[in-house]
Structure 1
């Protein structure tokens, strides 16, 4: 904008027929109305980016009178202007190319938006001789739209975190493992140290009056803090919090508690033992966030997040995000807690239904083990029994009712009773299976079941096997070798097809018969022949304690939580 532009030259005049007369849009008075009346902020700056002119709109934006701007640099009026915005204006002065420049900063004006945002268009002002006079900028404030954008970005971030949490937390129905997943997810994403503490099963009976007792189910820390954190305790320990300290207050109110930059008194109020404050300080702990852990209206415990060293304190945004994660994790923990309770009931019921096996003849020694499946399945219908028969013979039985849960356990108990009833008729093993198959198939709700019978006759040195859909038995010889006995496999019990065969085999004193369910050897995705080869490849001592021998077999074959229940029966011929 040069002097000619302000002079109102003749060539610039326009004629308005029938109008108010001739006038120029470049007259000083007209330009003043244009600049003063526009809601956009207009500013003119000299080459040192000092204000030469501001219109009323820009004065209002900056929170200073117009005349208070003149002669002052932009950074003096906007001390918190981002560096990128100022650098862009210098580039316009340097190369003369007009630019649109987004910028942000804090002004002297009071604003609920905090940091404010502008979108400006800038071009260079040159004299007729090419001298750079300065810049002119036209600005619009976009703080509100920017704030809305930031809110959307924050919402997207929280959804992304929750999406990650859904894949990381709740992969198991084991309570402590789920707590460990929660603590491991929070570190390092939202904390330097995180602990999850839950009510013990006996939570209705606190150890001391006025003291809250929790069990530390899980703890996670940054790698460089793990050794130091061990001084605070280990997962599995019980922790007591006096009434009025942070953890009880959090549970009582049901709301998060944030403590940033707390002192020793605040640490003590958190329930810490005074002697441990030095350990807290050595780690550099300065902020904590305690969030209640509850699901379906029932409190489960608390989650405590800690920040150390140069990590920032917890913000309101952090608290909201942690609450979202903890609320989701609480559902998984409640499911795990309910499952653990129901699984325990089913297991106790199964143990009650599976009464002690009968006593074999003195010439046969027997040992039994039952091991329920891991947390991914309910208890099943595995069972075993020994029935004493005439002439010194003993019937060994191993069965597996298809399915899991209480129903399978009830059917297991019923089939076991049927076996004892049928075996009393002193039939050979294949005919016992035939009678059982007929009885179960006539039962309206009877589940199919596999079964392996072994009739041991020490006087004759024989053992007669018969199988209804069950895995073959194994014989452990005194030399430690294991042999899989080839037994024809008939249909499972309950199909009504019959067709069972008896296979005799020699049994010498010192031999150990091993009957088992599929959980002992089968592995997901593995051919059953490979599973049986693994059993046959063992080298075991058949002498010594028989129960110890069974434990040895379990330790060698079950190296991780099994997908199915395991029942094992071992019988040794004594004479």
Structure 2
């Protein structure tokens, strides 16, 4: 094997390793650290990765490695050929170093003045390793796309060969590709989460004779938003319809379907049908649209004048009622099929709801735990003892805290309601 063939083989192996070592997670800082570690190992120099968190923002040092002591760099044909490298400033300019954001006092002198300023910045960084230390800087970018930052490598001894420069550019592009994926995913998640929060945060207004409180928690800081939601609808004669539902799946599609269910529910509820007939209507409407995902749903019509609550469920978990003493009781309901199956078969259940009792309806993320039987999960909720006289807001806060819902594996939506006590005459 000739010297050139051996060099090309070494370069190919390095590029193959880069694919396996850079971008192993969806964390930007981790990707930058993996890039720095890879380059420090293969180019035997100090590496600095400066990252832009947003266009026009000042770059931050996301990762760096120390400069190896003199004589620690690789020797051999590649290092020998690298000795023909030019000066630090010339190499920095040729490599196209990039600094993001306008510098204080910057003028519109044009791209050449900007590049000269950036080259000087790179040379200043390299001077820390000595006046003759070779330095190479490339943009953290994929071809002509907007760069995410800059990668700078500085080392003792000989300059960088063309093969080493190619490894640096390839690794930087690879890292930039992963960073682009991470940021696009984060943008999609933020859009879905904002949509979900906007929909959940604005339920309809019940009658003033009913106190309500609700809460929504996504499953983790980076989880895709799901189709969990709750709603209140004002009915005639002082009654209110309370709703909680869960569209199967996650992401924007689930959020869009959730909004479709919510719209259809409002239209059906406006006819003042009893809860089980509202579910029948929703089931038939959704079953005609193959694009809609199935969903579970629980409806409760609260009638404060009569002191009753009428329930109807479509594949949903039963609600809980907290008494004035803080004890909990699960409401025994017949379980109908999820919405969208077209099967129907929903039945109503009515029970008293005293002014001192607080009703809690929720999605399965509140109680379900991986590998645990659902009966045990519901029993944990039923075993809760809250402070006596807890109202809707306190019930929501206490239940979310005691069931550790902030670390749940699925989205959580909860809605609590209590008949407002009438002032004494």
Q: Structure 2-normalised TM-score?
A: 0.71
Q: CA offsets, 1:474-512, max 9 Å, x none?
A: 233444444433322210112111112223334333332
Q: Residue 444 and residue 306 in structure 1: after superposition, are their counterparts in 2 closer, same or farther (change >3 A)?
A: closer
Q: Residue 412 and residue 146 in structure 1: after superposition, are their counterparts in 2 closer, same or farther (change >3 A)?
A: closer
CA distance in structure 1 between the partners assigned to 2:321 and 2:116 by the alignment: 61
Kept in 1, the 8 Å contact 2:143–2:173? The answer is no
Q: CA offsets, 1:321-374, max 9 Å, x none?
A: 343332122222212222333344444445566682222222321122234455
**Aligned twin of 1:181:** 30
Kept in 1, the 8 Å contact 2:18–2:38? The answer is no
CA distance in structure 2 between the partners assigned to 1:305 and 1:480 by the alignment: 62
**Aligned twin of 1:171:** 25
Q: 207, 210, 214: which one pairs with 2:58?
A: 214
**Structure holding more strand per residue:** 1
CA distance in structure 2 between the partners assigned to 1:492 and 1:444 by the alignment: 14
Q: CA offsets, 1:419-456, max 9 Å, x none?
A: 22322343332222122222322345443221101122
CA distance in structure 1 between the partners assigned to 2:117 and 2:180 by the alignment: 16
Q: Residue 320 and residue 527 in structure 1: after superposition, are their counterparts in 2 closer, same or farther (change >3 A)?
A: farther
Kept in 2, the 8 Å contact 1:258–1:290? The answer is no
Q: 27, 39, 52: which one pairs with 1:198?
A: 52
**Aligned twin of 1:495:** 341
Q: CA offsets, 1:64-104, max 9 Å, x none?
A: xxxxxxxxxxxxxxxxxxxxxxxxxxxxxxxxxxxxxxxxx
**Aligned twin of 1:301:** 148
CA distance in structure 2 between the partners assigned to 1:160 and 1:534 by the alignment: 49
**Aligned twin of 1:550:** 396
1:379 correspondence with 2:228: no
Give the SS at the match of 1:295: coil
Aligned residues: 373
1:262 correspondence with 2:127: yes
CA distance in structure 2 between the partners assigned to 1:404 and 1:250 by the alignment: 49
Q: 511, 514, 518: which one pairs with 2:360?
A: 514
Q: Residue 336 and residue 153 in structure 1: after superposition, are their counterparts in 2 closer, same or farther (change >3 A)?
A: closer
Residue 515 of structure 1: how far off its partner (Å): 1.8
Give the SS at the match of 1:183: helix
Alignment of 1:62-141 (within 5 A): none
Residue 292 of structure 1: how far off its partner (Å): 1.4
CA distance in structure 1 between the partners assigned to 2:412 and 2:271 by the alignment: 30
**Aligned twin of 2:76:** none
CA distance in structure 1 between the partners assigned to 2:158 and 2:320 by the alignment: 64
Segments of 5+ residues of structure 2 without an aligned counterpart are 41-45, 67-99
CA distance in structure 1 between the partners assigned to 2:414 and 2:61 by the alignment: 33
CA distance in structure 2 between the partners assigned to 1:476 and 1:258 by the alignment: 69
CA-atom RMSD, angstroms? 4.1
Alignment of 1:262-341 (within 5 A): 262-263=127-128, 290-295=137-142, 297-304=144-151, 315-316=160-161, 319-341=165-187
**Aligned twin of 1:152:** 9
Alignment of 1:464-475 (within 5 A): 464-475=310-321
Alignment of 1:292-441 (within 5 A): 292-295=139-142, 297-304=144-151, 315-316=160-161, 319-350=165-196, 356-374=202-220, 378-441=224-287
Q: Residue 400 and residue 151 in structure 1: after superposition, are their counterparts in 2 closer, same or farther (change >3 A)?
A: same
CA distance in structure 2 between the partners assigned to 1:527 and 1:288 by the alignment: 61
Segments of 5+ residues of structure 1 without an aligned counterpart are 1-143, 207-212, 223-237, 267-285
CA distance in structure 2 between the partners assigned to 1:461 and 1:478 by the alignment: 15
Residue 378 of structure 1: how far off its partner (Å): 4.3
CA distance in structure 1 between the partners assigned to 2:158 and 2:326 by the alignment: 64
Kept in 2, the 8 Å contact 1:260–1:313? The answer is no
Residue 376 of structure 1: how far off its partner (Å): 6.2
